[in-house]
Structure 1
């Protein structure tokens, strides 16, 4: 059962990363056409910070912890 939960969590994380990538691409296209609204701009910055955080955590887990 624990393995199933871990697999489910990994799939959910992958789906979140994929969907945020598509939304970030949509926001970048919208930004070229018009000025982003406050909520859109907040999401744009939040997604970029999240990607940077994930990248840093992966680098730390690969090179420092192991």
Structure 2
């Protein structure tokens, strides 16, 4: 799993569109609300907005998806 952080001064909408054009599978958005609630706002290239979840929930979901992909190959 590769991770990159976009700390540019662009708007969040621009950053999301850019990531979609680059076909980034998952975008994890962390703003003031997420920090306060200790959550991540998760967006998927396939399924759009997946809502808020904890870091542990997201990583469990990602590991499951990776394991399923490995079985298919």
TM over 0.5: no
Higher helix share: 1
Q: For CA contacts below 8 A with separation 6 or more, give which structure has more relative contact order.
A: 1
TM range (shorter): 0.3 to 0.5
Higher strand share: 2
